[in-house]
């Protein structure tokens, strides 16, 4: 990408790759699974041209950032710790920054707001709303009870198992299967027929995703020896649940805006629409200014509708300049 500066910064015991462009108030972009800094390419170009400093790291385990071997090195505290130290290094004089997250990146952004509200001026999250801690049931047992053992988060739990199946499918097929997923329902990965079709079924790309862009993702995941780093986030869902017990009942004290596509699988999780629209979300995030549901849009909303998302981000953040 033209004008994007790349550098590697030592944070929290790892080397973190960061892409950035522009000058002005800092916007931290936090990607999800199976993504990279590159998922924010449209937002980096747009917001940097509007007077912002767009900063997008490869998270721990992804792309050109280190991937520690231990599964236990991927808790929400590790990831937030990486980002806090990154901000301290690259913006030591900026008391608070603007944050944008998607998918796991949105979850991490909510954690950042919960743990360090002093670092965040405002948060703009996509796809995943704030999910309050439920002391009655850990998330993996909950998902297994609802969807069964073939649900992707459950299939991700055993180290090495899903990686072997993904290796058999091929990195390109896995990347395409995830990025083109538009079913408003759960991702199921039954053995031998992941995503509900045979591994050799051709996958047509939508207009918003090119073969060249897919190949960038593929090259980075191949260089990383697969998807283990990103999958390790899911392997810490139970551990995060245990560690988050002290924050039971805490709300997010940061100005927020939330956008989701009406075809997003997260939006169709049991109870999610009710939580988002019937007061629960607003109760847990009192400074939530608006929820936007975009019609006919899937999970990777920032790539599918970049112009609309760029405008929504800009319109929300400019009030904090």
**How long a stretch of residues is the chain?**
321
Rounded to whole angstroms, the Cα distance separating 58 from 52 reads 19
Return d(Cα 284, Cα 149) in angstroms, integer: 30
Angle (CA) 78 300 43, round 5°: 80
Q: Is 181 a catalytic site residue?
A: no
Q: Which residues contact 186 (CB under 8 A, 6 or more apart)?
A: 147, 151, 152, 265, 269
**Residue at token pair 């805490």:** 250
150 is an active site residue: no
Q: What is the DSSP letter of 280?
A: H
What burial letters (b/e) apply to 275-302, b meaning 16+ CB within 10 Å?
bbeeebbbebbebbeebeebeebbbbbb
Catalytic residue among 147, 151, 234, 267: 234
Q: Which of 58, 64, 66, 103 does the annotation list as catalytic?
A: 103
* Contact criterion met (CB below 8 Å) for 217 and 176: no
* Rounded Cα distance, 229 and 225, in Å: 9
Q: Are 112 and 119 in contact (CB under 8 A)?
A: yes
- Tell me which of 31, 78, 102, 299 is the catalytic residue: 299
Partnered with residue 293 across adjacent β-strands are 260
Q: Is 299 a catalytic residue?
A: yes
3-state class (DSSP) for residue 257: strand
Query: Whole-angstrom Cα distance, residue 160 to residue 290?
Result: 41
Catalytic residue positions, numbered: 103, 234, 299
């Amino acid at each position: 990408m033209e004008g994007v500066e790349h550098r590697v910064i030592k944070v929290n015991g790892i080397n973190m790759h960061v892409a950035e462009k522009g000058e002005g108030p800092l916007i931290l972009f936090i990607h999800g699974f199976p993504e990279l800094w590159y998922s924010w390419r449209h937002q980096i170009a747009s917001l940097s041209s509007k007077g912002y400093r767009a900063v997008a790291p490869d998270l721990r385990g992804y792309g050109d950032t280190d991937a520690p071997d231990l599964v236990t090195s991927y808790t929400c505290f590790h990831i937030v710790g990486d980002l806090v130290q990154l901000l301290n290094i690259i913006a030591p004089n900026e008391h608070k920054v603007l944050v944008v997250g998607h998918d796991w990146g949105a979850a991490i952004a909510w954690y950042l707001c919960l743990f360090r509200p002093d670092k965040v001026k405002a948060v703009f999250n996509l796809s995943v709303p704030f999910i309050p801690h439920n002391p009655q049931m850990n998330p993996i047992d909950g998902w297994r009870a609802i969807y069964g053992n073939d649900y992707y988060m459950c299939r991700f739990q055993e180290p090495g198992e899903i990686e072997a199946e993904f290796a058999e499918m091929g990195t390109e097929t896995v990347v395409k299967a995830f990025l083109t997923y538009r079913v408003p329902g759960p991702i199921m990965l039954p053995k031998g027929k992941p995503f509900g079709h045979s591994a050799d079924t051709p996958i047509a790309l939508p207009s918003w995703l090119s073969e060249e862009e897919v190949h960038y993702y593929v090259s980075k995941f191949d260089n990383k020896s697969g998807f283990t780093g990103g999958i390790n986030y899911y392997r810490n869902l139970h551990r995060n649940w245990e560690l988050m017990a002290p924050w039971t009942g805490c709300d997010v004290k940061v100005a927020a805006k939330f956008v989701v596509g009406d075809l997003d699988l997260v939006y169709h999780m049991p109870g999610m629409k009710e939580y988002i629209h019937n007061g629960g979300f607003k109760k847990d995030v009192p400074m939530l200014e608006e929820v936007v549901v975009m019609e006919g849009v899937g999970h990777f909303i920032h790539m599918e509708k970049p112009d609309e998302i760029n405008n929504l981000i800009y319109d929300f953040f400019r009030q904090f300049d």
